[in-house]
Amino acid sequence: MRRIRSVVRVLLTTLVAVGLLTPSGTAVANPPPDTTTYYLALGDSLAFGYPSGVGYADDLQEVLKFSQPGIELIKLGCPGESTVTMIYGKGNCDGTGLYEQYGQSTNQLAAAKWILANMPVSQVTIDIGPNDVLPCFQQGVIKPTCVTDGLAAVQTNLPTILGELRARLDPGAKAAGMSFYDPFLALWPDDAAQQSLGFINALNAIETTNYQQFGFALAPVADVFQTNHPETSPFTLRPINVTRVCVLTLMCTAKADIHPNQLGYWVIAGTFAQTLDLS
């Protein structure tokens, strides 16, 4: 591995130790000179880092600092953001000043477009789409018609989002999106856990196709979380995917929250780092 220090060593060593990533990369003698560039993090509550406000984008910036010492993070992720609100507004962050500071933008996509047109952005990450379908899961019941409509919204809106971003990316900039884990696997052995896996896989199929079409690398977070590995773990006597969700998210705590814990955000950051060839 490259001679990375401090946060990078802790991050990657931890992920390797728990079997979530494998070592890769070659050594480099000296980091490049300090120049100011920007890392633009787009998306929903995962990009924001809910609940603390510190998430994978913050962790990934620490990794980026070793190859781009002057890099600064612009974090536009908004809790509750969907593909609809990202384009058309009326999301939770509209009117807060988060977007308005970038060319008086009124939604996240407009702010991102302004930033890409006016600032030297070298890295872009995005996670968007789950909030189009997650409201379809309420009190352990999945509403099939709602899921169908939500997936259709993602299929319609994601090409618009990625196309607008791609058109403004500098030729040398790196961009990546992520696949999604299934937090509701933590409800195992209820039937809802298996049902939720179906719509998460459908969402990831749409995401993967569109990222490939628009030249975005795919950070395989679903694979790292082992979302589609229902084999029983000999250590926990539960399915492996259920165990991973409990270890990496807040779903198996008293809060029963779908978001990652600190380790989970580190894992997502590490997955993005390997996808963007930063490790």
pTM: 0.87
Torsional sign, CA 265, 267, 271, 277: positive
Instruction: State the Cα torsion 263-265-269-270 to the nearest 10°.
Output: 20
Quickly count: other Cβ atoms within 10 Å of residue 261's Cβ. Answer: 19
**One-letter amino acid for residue 71 of the chain:** I
| Average pLDDT over every residue of 200-205 | 97
32 has pLDDT over 60: no
Question: Looking at residue 34, what is its pLDDT?
Answer: 52
Residue 73, beta-bridge partner list? 39
Burial class (CB in 10 A: 0-12, 13-18, 19+), 135: middle
User: Among residues of the chain, what percentage have pLDDT more than 70?
Assistant: 87
Q: Is 170 helix (H, G, I), strand (E, B) or coil?
A: coil
3-state secondary structure of 232: strand
Tell me what pLDDT residue 184 has: 95
Domains in the chain with CATH codes: 6-181+193-224+261-275 (3.40.50.1110)
Q: How far is CA 30 from the centre of its chain?
A: 30
Compute the average pLDDT of residues 126-138. 95
Write out 193-228 in H/E/C secondary structure: HHHHHHHHHHHHHHHHHHHHHCCCEEECHHHHCCCC
Q: In what order do the strands lie in the sheet with 121-127?
A: 72-75, 38-43, 121-127, 174-178, 217-219
Per-residue DSSP letter, 238: S
The single-letter DSSP state of residue 262 is H
36-95 pLDDT, tens digit each: 899 999 999 999 999 999 999 999 999 999 989 999 999 999 999 999 999 999 999 999
Identify whether 234 is preceded by a cis peptide bond (ω within 30 of 0): no
Q: Is residue 191 very low, low, confident or very high in pLDDT (cuts 50, 70, 90)?
A: confident
Q: Cα(95)–Cα(115) distance, rounded to whole angstroms?
A: 18
Q: What pLDDT is attached to residue 138? A: 83
